[in-house]
Amino acid sequence: MEKKQSNPKEWLNQMVGEPYYLTHFLAFFSYFIVRSSASLALSPHITQLLFYREIQAILAFFMLIAYKMVREETWEAFVADTLFFGKILLVALTLIVDYHLTLWYIVVFSVIYVLTQQPSYQELGTASKLTPLQLEALLTEGNPSRFWLGMLVLQMKTEIALVEFRASFSSGCRRASRCFPELSITYSNKNLSFGIVDLGLFPNAAEKFGISPGGSMGQLPTYILFENATEVTRFPEFNFEARPAPPITKRLLSRHFELDRHLLEYVNGK
């Protein structure tokens, strides 16, 4: 996994400035306060059992983190999974203390889920944010030998064309928000350009480009490759059986759209 949050000061500022990270930090930190207070009221047997379970939880947590560090390709996906596992383990530990405490943490995490949202990767790389009119103009008036690969960002129930079609409310889009900009830095050239369309801002674009905003269809984010104003291929493909699409990774997108081949053709002057 490539971690871009390598600057500790930048990471700390994000944790304090983003409600999503700050509320999770406060929720997890509150357990230590509750734990120290509860140890005075719990029986020695329960205290010892809780201590053993905490050690097991910590070991399991670090094993899961190590596994995700190897498997996950983006920082956003790694953080989301780490917090998810942490919440499960914390709720399991509170069951030993008191079930009322368990219900309290379930309510707290539910409120955090409703009121906050994990921030997406903000950099664009060499990709450009496009309106539907800009995208249509590029497809009809641009250089006919130029490819446009995009992803649509859906924030509301909308559909649009890509370049990249995504939405900020979609967890899949947030988890994969780093992939597209980094791919654009690697593969962008005079023959292959990258663009991003936000379906939350332009909901009518989804229908125009045949993108299903429904989460059950696994259509967010959607990537479409155009050549000479014609769609060549997309990911995910239309799936009428509603099978979920695999997690978005740079490797998957590069292979599906044959980005290495396009880059070699440009280098070789084809």
Domains of the chain: 8-115 (no CATH), 128-268 (3.40.30.10)
More confident residue, 35 or 145: 35
Position 83 pLDDT exceeds 90: yes
Report which of residues 96 and 238 the model is more confident about.
96
CA 155, 208, 220, 261 dihedral sign is negative
- Which tokens in the block code for residue 195? 């663009």
CA distance 23 to 109: 9
Please state which of the ranges 190-194, 238-242, 247-251 shows the lowest mean pLDDT: 238-242
Among the listed residues 124, 107, 122, the one whose alpha carbon sits nearest the alpha carbon of residue 27: 107
Query: What pLDDT shows up at residue 74?
Result: 83
Going by C-beta distance under 8 Å and a sequence separation of 6 or more, which residues neighbour residue 243?
218
Tokens of 66: 């190590």
Reported as a pLDDT band with limits 50, 70 and 90, residue 91 is very high
Q: How far is CA 165 from the centre of its chain?
A: 13
Query: Which residues, including other chains, have CB under 8 Å from residue 53's CB and lie 6 or more apart?
Result: 92, 93, 96
Q: What is the mean pLDDT of residues 8-22?
A: 72
Place of tokens 């930048």: 10
- Residue 190's pLDDT is 80
How far apart, in whole angstroms, are the C-alpha atoms of residue 205 and residue 202? 6
Q: What percent of the chain has pLDDT over 90?
A: 24
**Residue 149: pLDDT above 70?**
no
Question: Residue 6: which pLDDT band, with cuts at 50, 70 and 90?
Answer: very low
Across the range 184-201, mean pLDDT stands at: 85
Beta strand spans in the chain (E): 128-130, 147-153, 164-166, 192-198, 222-227, 230-235
Torsion of CA 240, 214, 232, 250, to 10 degrees: -110
Full-prediction pTM beyond 0.85? no
CA-CA distance, 58 to 62, in Å (whole number)? Answer: 6
> Is residue 119 pLDDT above 80, yes or no?
yes
pLDDT number for residue 90: 95
Beta-bridge partners for 225: 149, 233
Closest CA to 214 of 167, 178, 149: 167
Considering only CA atoms, give the Rg of the chain.
Answer: 22
CB atoms under 10 Å from CB of 150, counted, come to: 31
Which range is least confidently modeled, 68-77, 116-125, 232-241? 232-241
β-strands 230-235, 164-166 pairing: unpaired
SS3 153: strand
How far is 67 from 71, CA to CA, in rounded Å? 6
The 8-class DSSP code of residue 120 comes to P
Grade residue 161 by pLDDT with cuts at 50, 70 and 90: very low
Given a cut of 50, whether residue 159 has pLDDT beyond it is no
117 or 203: whose pLDDT is higher? 117
The pLDDT of residue 142:
53
In 3-state terms the chain splits into helix, strand, coil percentages (rounded to 5) of 55, 10, 35
Looking at residue 157, its pLDDT comes to 32
Report the distance separating Cα 76 and Cα 121, nearest Å: 8
Q: What does the pLDDT read at residue 100?
A: 92
